[in-house]
Structure 1
Amino acid sequence: MAETPPNVLLVLTDQERYDCSAPDGPPVETPTMDRLSSEGMRFERAFTPISICSSARASLLTGLFPHGHGMLNNCHEADAIQPNLPTELPTFSELLADAGYELTYTGKWHVGRDATPDDFGFSYLGGSDRHHDDIDEAFRAYRDERGVPEDDVELEEAIYTGDDPRDGSEGTFVAAKTPVDVEDTRAWFLAERTIEAIEAHADEDGSGEREHAGIEADGDRPFFHRADFYGPHHPYVVPEPYASMYDPAEIEPPASYAETYDGKPRVQKQYLEYRGVADFDWELWAEAIAKYWGFVSLIDDQLERILAALERAGLAEETVVVHASDHGDFAGSHRQFNKGPLMYDDTYHIPLQVRWPGVVEGGSVCQEPVMLHDLAATFLEIGDVSVPDSFHARSLVPLLEGDPERERERDHRTEWPDSVYAQYHGDEFGLYTQRMVRTDRYKFVYNGPDANELYDLEADPAELHNLIEHPAYEEVRAEMSDRLVEWMAETDDPNRAWVPKTLE
């Protein structure tokens, strides 16, 4: 480890699918994410521990699976099991702050109704929205100053769920074209705030201390900046040129669009009605997906602006850049919208790219299975801070260094796992317990109140055929259920006492 730990820039997107920036994915233009992959490491098998915002974000902070931190569903809903992250839990951010890092934060929070990033070691620089956090009014004030108040914009090509996809009086807002300039979008604003933070952290005049754009910083200390974009989460609202960047007529249905739900848990088909998309045809889905892809490209361009700011400030070579997402988005796959109690790769497989000059070999690809909350332990090791024993996470530094087998001082577990574990506890639809274990080839899903699922990902990558009752897969089913039980025991999952009995 270097004498002075490197800076860290974490760019977290909201509900971004893995395939959007994958080499073999759809034709989404992501040149900046591709650049991070070419200059760093791309993780082919990165997964979220849970496909819901508050829970996944709390896991990222604490290095714990959701059952370990207690935020089992979204904190802003009336049925939130836990409205705020317990302050007694150690977080990577507070530990880095204690070790001397300067931590700043822009954008989405969604880890508490009352608590803010300031309560967990960060200095919050603005950009939240009222629906999720209500932390500040910075973006609204920005739009007012530019003469385009948020509430005065007339959207075009709007899509809503419900009986009439063009009727905004009911249903959920899915997608639209906005007539505003790119500079008026929240994505641009969050990038601008991030650039201001980078400039504040830079010690261009050698003075060691200065204030820039209201941000006090000390150039002698490493910084950690977190930029959380509100997208490409729905509503997929984008301006030109992104609104027409992708032609819906040229978008092909994914293989999983052929979903029939035969042999699947009943909640999956029910979710079509609950989300209001049971009557969406492919033409409508293609229109929405075109906006989703445009949203991804819009954010990619903002990431390019941020990386350019790092270079201008002379900080690119001493800053670790990480791009990830809290979870994915169905965006029409399995004919579903948003997310829910369906543990398909569309929402659990996430993008992850890490650029670390001088450490990570450019263009390298990691095929080891990793988890979003492994980043908590990773950031601590990068900062030369001990990882708490309470963490379920493992540092990715050995993988980044190209030596996954090395024995690490901070972790007695020397063998990297060959599977990932995930869970789900419900959302506003109601509680619905799920557990999932996934290897390179197989996925096993435990559904508490309904049929379990087993998929052969090599033969059926679209996860259309549930093999849980197939006699030829009896041994696979037994082996995967054993893996699940082992994961539950290792992480002290509270359901570990009775779930194994239901699998016998």
Structure 2
Amino acid sequence: MSRPNALFLLTDQERYDLTEPGSPVETPNLDRLSEDGMAFERAYTPISICSSARASLLTGLYPHNHGMLNNCHEADAIRPNLPPELPTFGELLAEAGYVNRYVGKWHVGRDQGPEDFGFEYRGGADRHHDPGLAGDFERYREELGVDVDEGDLEDLEDRIHTGTGTLVAATDPAPVEATRPYYIAERAIECLRGETDEPFFLRTDLYGPHHPYVVPEPYASMYDPEAIERPGSYAETFEGKPAVHERYLRYRGADALDWETWSEAIAKYRGFMTLLDDQVGRILDALDEGDLEDTLVVHASDHGDFTGGHRQFNKGPLMYEDTYRIPLQIRWPGEVESGSTCREFVSLHDLMPTFLDLADAEIPDVDGRSIRPLLDGGVPADWREAHFAQYHGDEFGLYSQRMLRTKRYKYVHNGPDRNELYDLESDPHELTNLIEHPDYEDARGDLERRLLERMRETDDPLSQWAGDVLG
């Protein structure tokens, strides 16, 4: 079998539940990937913050092993750049003869870009996350004659802010063709139309539906706020939860948002998702038109977004399904069965060794594991039965957390506060913390033991301290 061309589509803070079958959001092109390939029901991120998750994707390592514990562009970044000695899939694919191109968001280093990691960069970055790569999108808007400055919030309509003044959602008065998602899709299509004698890997990182949920018409009013049902976790009381949960609500100013306001913001988020889906459709159409329909196509997200879940937005030191469970669809004609479903636990950082495996390139010693056997329809006997994840804090300050998610339970270790235990069969919205419930003592002990084992297996430095209270 020859090595496949690959198109990797990464969205930014896209929720799993709004891409699964029966979702109220129109995503016909993501549905198309699921129908033509494999959809993963238990895909998760190793960490729900952008730079850290993207660094794990590149390296196949957990954040505690690659060192980028929080966002690189902020003043409190633990590590502003990814250590150059760590092997990444871009570099290894290039060594294996692949022509790698990259479009869109980077956000894995202040002084580094895709070209430092085996990719030819084709533009689309914004100035907030990647100032050294930005500028081409602004020139594109000028060529279109669009006067609206993308960063000028005063020009936005229907603005929704938190009590602290943070913009959550708004309507962009610019036409669709002048939006960053449309432009990134244009650049990706140009790459697909380029000639290459070698196999190619095209990574396309779309901004959004990351907050603020700023979208143009017709997407801004595509979903009726009055038709949106409250998420089950909107009933959150914070009783029995770690103190940081409620403090984060106030810190973010989300406690000032009532349901009427939230429904309007959620409607914009859903419109954003459909806008992105339409751009995915344009890219897939270009793929088919170029007789490249046999190309491996992978769609995933770096992590999710609360979008009103637990009355929060964005992400933070709350290890709920809203931000840790991610969409993942893989289409590979002739290799992956159409309409198939995988129910095994997989992680975003498994994609690094998977890409190398499919390219017949050597896989270094990493934390992730190739999911190629799952694509073939099999399940190795030693495949993981739980997902291990972590969080280290963001602008709220450092806050170490570790999580173990099994098919029934979720256990969260909060070093400086009370731990969490959820029975996801009886409480799918994670409202009741059972950490002190006597009926769950055996389950708690088993989860603590398994979590500590996983921490030790991955050389997690926190395990030496957690060992005193876990297992």
Structure 2 length-normalised TM:
0.98
Matched, 1:403 2:350: no
Q: Which residue is equivalent to 1:64?
A: 61
Matched, 1:481 2:448: yes
SS in structure 2 at match of 1:20: coil
Within the candidate set 262, 273, 284, 1:296 is matched to: 273
Within 1, Cα distance between the matches of 2:64 and 2:156?
A: 40
Contact 1:140 1:149 in 2 (8 A): no
Contact 2:34 2:329 in 1 (8 A): yes
Q: Which residue is equivalent to 2:369?
A: 394
Within the candidate set 260, 267, 271, 2:248 is matched to: 271
Deviations 1:70-89 (A, max 9, x none): 00000001000000001100
Contact 2:45 2:53 in 1 (8 A): yes
| Post-superposition offset of 1:13 | 0.3
Deviations 1:316-347 (A, max 9, x none): 11x10000000000000000011000000000
Q: Which residue is equivalent to 2:176?
A: 182
State how 1:233-272 maps to structure 2 within 5 Å: 233-272=210-249
Which AA in structure 1 matches 2:358? Answer: I
| Post-superposition offset of 1:179 | 1.7
Within 1, Cα distance between the matches of 2:222 and 2:34?
A: 23
Q: Which residue is equivalent to 2:120?
A: 123
Within 2, Cα distance between the matches of 1:28 and 1:384?
A: 37
Within 1, Cα distance between the matches of 2:183 and 2:34?
A: 25
Contact 2:235 2:310 in 1 (8 A): yes
Within the candidate set 448, 458, 462, 1:491 is matched to: 458
Which AA in structure 2 matches 1:469? Answer: E
Q: Which residue is equivalent to 2:422?
A: 455
**1:149–1:128 CA distance, 2 compared to 1 (3 A):** farther
Within 2, Cα distance between the matches of 1:229 and 1:342?
A: 25
SS in structure 1 at match of 2:18: helix
Within the candidate set 320, 333, 339, 1:357 is matched to: 333
| Post-superposition offset of 1:160 | 1.2
SS in structure 1 at match of 2:149: helix
Deviations 1:249-282 (A, max 9, x none): 1101000000000000000000111111112100
Within 1, Cα distance between the matches of 2:94 and 2:376?
A: 25
Q: Which residue is equivalent to 1:472?
A: 439
Matched, 1:43 2:56: no
| Post-superposition offset of 1:24 | 3.8
Which AA in structure 2 matches 1:296? Answer: M
Deviations 1:71-122 (A, max 9, x none): 0000001000000001100101100000000000000000000100000000
| Post-superposition offset of 1:503 | 2.3
Which AA in structure 2 matches 1:21? Answer: T
Unpaired segments of 5 or more residues in structure 2? Answer: none
State how 1:83-162 maps to structure 2 within 5 Å: 83-134=80-131, 135-151=133-149, 154-162=155-163
Within 2, Cα distance between the matches of 1:24 and 1:238?
A: 23
SS in structure 2 at match of 1:9: strand
| Post-superposition offset of 1:441 | 0.4
Within 2, Cα distance between the matches of 1:199 and 1:445?
A: 47
Which AA in structure 2 matches 1:362? Answer: S
Within the candidate set 185, 193, 203, 2:187 is matched to: 193
Deviations 1:159-196 (A, max 9, x none): 11126xxxxxxx21111111221111100000000000
Q: Which residue is equivalent to 1:22?
A: 20
Within 2, Cα distance between the matches of 1:67 and 1:150?
A: 41
Contact 1:140 1:150 in 2 (8 A): no
**Structure 1 residue ranges (4+ consecutive) displaced by more than 6 angstroms after TM superposition:** none
Q: For structure 1, which segment, 177-186 or 34-43, has the greater mean C-alpha deviation from structure 2 after superposition?
A: 177-186
Which AA in structure 1 matches 2:291? Answer: G
Contact 2:452 2:470 in 1 (8 A): no
Aligned residues: 467
SS in structure 2 at match of 1:494: coil
Within 2, Cα distance between the matches of 1:337 and 1:305?
A: 29
| Post-superposition offset of 1:235 | 1.1
Deviations 1:290-320 (A, max 9, x none): 0000000000000000000001110111x10
Contact 2:163 2:257 in 1 (8 A): no
Which AA in structure 1 matches 2:446? Answer: E
State how 1:287-436 maps to structure 2 within 5 Å: 287-317=264-294, 319-389=295-365, 391-405=366-380, 415-436=382-403
Within 2, Cα distance between the matches of 1:302 and 1:136?
A: 20
SS in structure 2 at match of 1:481: helix
Q: Which residue is equivalent to 2:208?
A: 231
Within the candidate set 73, 76, 82, 2:70 is matched to: 73
SS in structure 1 at match of 2:193: helix
Q: For structure 1, which segment, 122-131 or 494-503, has the greater mean C-alpha deviation from structure 2 after superposition?
A: 494-503
| Post-superposition offset of 1:149 | 3.5
Which AA in structure 1 matches 2:188? Answer: T
Unpaired segments of 5 or more residues in structure 1? Answer: 164-170, 202-218, 406-413
Which AA in structure 1 matches 2:179? Answer: T
Contact 1:175 1:234 in 2 (8 A): yes
Which AA in structure 2 matches 1:439? Answer: T
SS in structure 2 at match of 1:498: helix
| Post-superposition offset of 1:237 | 0.8
Within 1, Cα distance between the matches of 2:5 and 2:46?
A: 26
Within 2, Cα distance between the matches of 1:101 and 1:246?
A: 42
Which AA in structure 1 matches 2:136? Answer: A
Contact 1:107 1:227 in 2 (8 A): yes
Within 1, Cα distance between the matches of 2:428 and 2:244?
A: 21
| Post-superposition offset of 1:150 | 4.1
Which AA in structure 1 matches 2:286? Answer: A
Q: For structure 1, which segment, 490-499 or 67-76, has the greater mean C-alpha deviation from structure 2 after superposition?
A: 490-499
| Post-superposition offset of 1:51 | 0.3
SS in structure 1 at match of 2:254: coil
Contact 1:10 1:225 in 2 (8 A): yes
| Post-superposition offset of 1:151 | 1.7
Superposed CA RMSD in Å reads 1.0
Contact 1:21 1:30 in 2 (8 A): yes
